[in-house]
Amino acid sequence: MHAAAAGAQPDDVVAKLWARLPSETSCPLCRVRAREESEAIAALARQFADDESRAFDTLSAVCLPHFAVLIAAIQDTRVIKELMRRQSKVLGRLAEDMKRYALKSDGIRPTLLSDEEETASKRGLSLLACAHGAADRVG
């Protein structure tokens, strides 16, 4: 009998689904990726501590799962607030690109779409969910 049909709680079903996915404990490639991600986040956090203005200048868009990990790795609340303002602006610009895409592609001017508008939906999904999935249950 399926878990859902047996009246299992949603949390139990989710846990069983996650248990079937590869993880750092069951997959050597996931282990390498997780280690590299952890090292990259730690290096970025150190960069903010050492040279904040340079770190802000070189930082590109960060997906929300990794953004949460980055925020947790930074100790300075002022830097965290600035990162949150910056992330908000990035997501706001992306939302505007998505709106313009919808208006132009559904309207009478699809030929006027910019490259940013054309790729807005894929960039949005990547920033919200992380390019390789759910960032391995960050949170």
How would DSSP label each residue in 15-65?
Answer: HHHHHHS--TTT-HHHHHHHHHHHHHHHHHHHHHHH-HHHHHHH-----HH
Residue at 137 is within a domain: no
pLDDT for 86-118, tens place per residue?
A: 999 988 988 888 787 777 776 666 666 777 777
134 domain residue, yes or no: no
pLDDT in tens, 114-134: 777 777 777 777 777 775 544
Q: Shortest CA distance to 132 belongs to which of 52, 60, 37?
A: 37
What lies within 8 Å, CB to CB, of 117 at 6+ separation is 97, 98, 100, 101, 104
Position 136 in a domain: no
Q: Identify residue 79 by its one-letter amino acid code.
A: V
In a domain, 2, yes or no: no
Count how many domains the chain has.
Answer: 1
Q: Tell me the pTM.
A: 0.65
Instruction: For the chain, give the percent of residues with pLDDT over 70.
Output: 82
* Cβ partners under 8 Å of residue 67, min gap 6: 83, 87
Residue 1 lies in a domain: no
Inside any domain, residue 5: no
What pLDDT, on a 0 to 100 scale, did the predictor assign at position 90?
A: 87
Instruction: Confirm whether 63 is domain-assigned.
Output: yes
Q: Give Dmax over CA atoms of the chain in angstroms.
A: 57
Task: Please state, in angstroms and rounded to a whole number, the distance separating the CA atoms of residues 137 and 65.
Answer: 8
Q: Does residue 33 lie in a domain region?
A: yes
What residues make up the domain containing 119? Answer: 10-129
